[in-house]
Structures are given as structure tokens and as C-alpha cells.
Chains A and B, each alone.
Chain A
Amino acid sequence: MALESHPLTRSRSGRALLGVIGVAAFVLLWKYAQAAGWAAAGTIPDPFRLPQALIDEWSSDRLAPAILSSLVHYVWGLAIGTSLGFLVGTLAASSSLLDALHAWLARILRPIPPLAWVVFAIAWFKVSHAGAAFVIAIGVFWVNYFATYSAVRNVDSRFYELARAFGQNGHLRQALQVTLPGAATGIFSGIRTGIGQAWMTLIAAELLGVPGMGQEMNSAAGVGAYEVVVVYMLIISLVYTLSDTLFGFIEKRVLTWRPS
């Protein structure tokens, strides 16, 4: 059944207006919950005090270093997890021998949540940037590994036949001419999912004490400064949106050939 579209939703400005109303309604409900005391005293922050909390965090020189520190974990974890996931996924999908060799191992390791590795991250890297990047990389690795693996496996075999028909033989040549472009859409969607996955793991990894936004949230909550926690939550949302948009832009430039 087709959804009947409301007249207001048919224009861009109409949808923007509805979006603003939705957010405003939520903030009012939130304010009401805080004023009416729906939860233990002081644990629901006042939404109207968030701007002041943001200014305080910024002027006390905690905000910028925390964001930078988190970005260091994020970028390293993402880069390492993405590269390894892509590499292992491609190799496993291209060789039946490697595929069989790694199949059981992957099945055993894959269900382990990235955060379970925190214990080892601390044991091996102490409380350090490397430890946080390690935990993030594990989560990102699996996302990219699976996306790449299935994208490479699903490349249309007719294009390999085409390559042979026109004298383009050899593994490397076919990998570059057929496998990579043929799997690009799937690989890119894996990278994009990884960008989101990395954020999820990032904060959790930092809650354990590595400097960054997660740690700031934890210490703010410790002194009951819940507005500060929400400030960091919103910054996480903003940074994620920025990185996802940036990547979406790159994806569009690289995959120009796809029908829009």
C-alpha cells in the first residue's frame, strides 16, 4: 500500500518546518520531564542550560583537547581496521585455499564484541591512544572484512570472461580491471558502515579512561554535570554527521558511474 503523502511534506521548506517542530516538541517534553522530576533529582539535565554548559566546557579548555584526542583514536582505529578488513576480505574471497583456511577462525572470532577486547587493550597497550585505536580497529575490521568479502565474491563472473575474451589475462590485471571496480559499491558501503561503527566503539573504549570525549563524559557524570554529558553526546552526533557527509561526498565522486 502506498503511503498517502501529506501536502506539507511535498516541499523542502515544508519538510524542514516539520523537522524543526519535531525537535522542538522533543525538547519541550524533555524540559517537562526535568521540571516534573520524572527521574532521580538532578539526573535529567535542563535542555535550556546546554548552551551555557558548552561555553563552560570550551572556555575551561577541556572540549577541544577531548575532541582532538578522540579524533586521533578514531582516525587510527578506522584506518587500520578498514585497511586490514579490506585486505583480508579481498584475499579470502579471491583464493579458495585462504577462504577454507580462515573460514572456521572467522566464525569463532567474529561474534566476540569489540569491547570484550578492552581487557587485552589495557594489558598490551596500557591506558593509551593505541589501546583505544586497537579496540576501534577490531570493530571496524569485521564490518569491512564482511562487506569486502561478499562484494568480491559477488562480482559478476561474466566480466572475467569478458576480460579473457579481450586478452586481459593474469590475476593482478583482472583484480584491477574487474574485481576492484566490480566490488567498489559494496566495499564503499562497508567503509561507510565502519565510519559509524567506529564512533560507537570509540566512546565505550574511552569510558575506560583513555583521554577523549568518552572520558570527559564519564568524569562529568561523576560530579552530576549531566548537561556536559549531553553536550558531548551532541558533539559526537555532529562529528559523525560531518564525517559521514564527507565520505558520502567522496563515495559519490568515486562511483560516478552508478545510476542515481
Chain B
Amino acid sequence: MASILNIEDLSYHYGNNPDPVFAGLSLRMEDGEFIAVVGGSGVGKSTLLRCVAGLATASHGNIELHVEEDDTRRSRGVVFQDGRLMPWRKLRSNVAYGLKGLKLTAEEKRERVDEVLKLARLEELAERWPHQLSGGQVQRGGIARALAVKPHLLLMDEPFSAVDAITRHHLQDQLLTIWEQTQKAVMFITHDIEEAVYLADRVIVLSGSPANIVLDQKIELPRPRHRGTDTLQKLAQDIANAL
């Protein structure tokens, strides 16, 4: 498979702070690959994602995205930790938000939205206001919105950390189903190592000050995986030890 993302020698400083939060960070990602980035708080996991998303500018280094130019898609789709649906738009309109400005007819936009609402199992809730949705439904709305722009790379910033454990398991499984159907490259930020091992093809561990990649672990477990199995827990323990 071809590489879709190439990060080289990336450093980031917060404001005027002389010490970088991470420095000299390099990472390659293959198309269709699911990578999880883990690490303690303050190592710049979310900042790394925001750099890749174009929402933050690195102080040094390069981020190359190898995707074809296509004005009916966006190269990246971002899913935020808080779901971040606009309270003044109904769910359907929130999901359609990223399509503004893409070269699509109204009919094509409607089809896109219907398709991702179905994928996220939200068809029935399309006409609801965000305040009428549960935390898990809001998150699925955020995922649907990101998928609607048919991104080459899906960027997810701790998307399930704010929901309860049962909902989180459901959302993880739904995400895997969607990932298997769409074959998209996913960069998933989490502080939950078991979640990372359960979901990802590769787990990247950030640690240190300034932070860098201390472990790049391929997860060879066959799919579908099962939570709580010994092999999975042992892998998670090994990764935790690297932190």
C-alpha cells in the first residue's frame, strides 16, 4: 500500500514557551491503515493531530499528505473529543456542514448525508436538535459529519473519552465496522491503551519532554478482536510499560 501521510522532523512550541512539547517527530502512515497514538497528558497527542488537520502550525518540520486533488472531497475529516455539533443546526444539517463549498449538486449532497447517517445508524434522528441527542449519538453525529466529506484521512481526537463505558464499547465496534466498510486511513488519539490495542493496526506511543515516539508497535491480532483476552491485555501491558 502507498503511504498517505509522511511527517518529518516535526516540532511544536506552545506560544512563546522555549521548550517544544514534541520535537524531531517523524511518522509514516499507509493508506487504509488504522493507527492509534497514545501517551500521557501534555505529550502533545492532540496537538499532533491538530497539526495534521491544519488547525495548528508546527514550528519546524514537514507534514506531507499524499492524496489526489478532488474538489468533491476533503483530504481530512476531523472528529473532536466533544462531538462538537452546532446546537443551532439539526443533526442532518450538522452532518452536511463540511459539504459547503464542495463541487456537489444538492442531490449529491443529500445522498452523501443519507449514506453516512445510515452508516452511523442515525437515520431516525436526522431531524433532531443536538440537545435532543445522547452523548453517544452526538459522537456518532461528529463521525458522520467527518465521513460525509469522504476524507482520505480520518483524524479522531479522543472521540470516545467523554462517554460512559458501555457506550464507548458500542462506538468502538461501530467505528471498526465503518472502517472496514470504507477502508479509510485513521489516526486515532487516545489515552486508553486497551482501546488503542483493540482498534488499531499500529500503536504509536509518545512520551518524554520534549516528547517523541518511544514505541511503534504493530498489533498483529486477527480481527474481529475480543476485549479482555489475555493476548490483548498482555500487549496493552507491554505498551504501558514503555510509557
- Please list the residues of chain A having a beta carbon within 8 angstroms of any beta carbon in chain B: 158-159, 161-162, 164-168, 177-178, 181-182, 184, 255-259
Contacts and interface: CB of A to CB of B under 8 A. Distances in A.
B55 A159 contact: no
Interface in B8-40: none
Given A158-B82, A159-B86, A166 B55 contact: no
Closest 4 CB pairs of A and B: A166-B98, A181-B88, A165-B78, A259-B131
B87 interface: yes
Given A168-B100, A259-B131, A162 B86 contact: yes
A164 B54 contact: yes
B55 A165 contact: yes
Size range of the chain B interface in the assembly: 20 to 34
A178 B89 CA distance: 11
B55 A167 contact: no
B82 A165 contact: no
Given A161-B55, A257-B129, A259-B131, A166 B149 contact: yes
Interface string B62-104: 0000000000001010101010101111100000011011000
B53 interface: yes
Contacts of A256: 129
Nearest to B97: A166
A257 B84 CA distance: 15
Contacts of A255: 88
B80 A257 contact: no
Given A164-B55, A166-B97, A167-B98, A181 B149 contact: no
A82 B53 CA distance: 40
Nearest to B94: A162
Contacts of A257: 87-90, 129-131
A260 B53 CA distance: 36
Contacts of B149: 166-167
Given A158-B82, A165-B55, 9 more contacts: A162-B86, A164-B55, A165-B53, A165-B76, A165-B78, A167-B98, A177-B100, A181-B86, A182-B88
Interface in B117-153: 129-131, 145, 149
B78 to A, nearest CB: 4
Nearest to B148: A166
A174 to B, nearest CB: 12
A184 B149 CA distance: 28
B74 A166 contact: yes
Nearest to B82: A158
Contacts of B100: 166-168, 177
Contacts of B98: 166-167
Nearest to A165: B78
A168 to B, nearest CB: 6
Contacts of A158: 80, 82, 84
13 contacts: A159-B84, A162-B80, A164-B54, A166-B78, A166-B98, A166-B145, A167-B74, A167-B149, A168-B97, A182-B88, A256-B129, A257-B90, A258-B131
A148 B224 CA distance: 53
A113 to B, nearest CB: 36
A161 B84 CA distance: 10
A133 to B, nearest CB: 33
B139 to A, nearest CB: 14
A256 to B, nearest CB: 8
A168 B101 contact: yes
Contacts of A159: 84, 86
In this complex, the member of B87, B129, B131, B149 whose beta carbon has the largest number of chain A beta carbons within 10 angstroms is: B87
Contacts of B54: 164-165
In this complex, the member of A161, A166, A256, A259 whose beta carbon has the largest number of chain B beta carbons within 10 angstroms is: A166
A168 B74 CA distance: 11
Nearest to A158: B84
A164 B53 CA distance: 9
A181 B89 CA distance: 9
A20 to B, nearest CB: 37
B205 to A, nearest CB: 26
A193 B90 CA distance: 28
A158 B90 CA distance: 18
Contacts of A167: 74, 98, 100-101, 149
A258 B86 CA distance: 11
A2 B88 CA distance: 34
A223 B60 CA distance: 84
In this complex, the member of B76, B88, B97, B145 whose beta carbon has the largest number of chain A beta carbons within 10 angstroms is: B88
Interface string B186-200: 000000000000000
A181 B149 CA distance: 23
Nearest to B130: A257
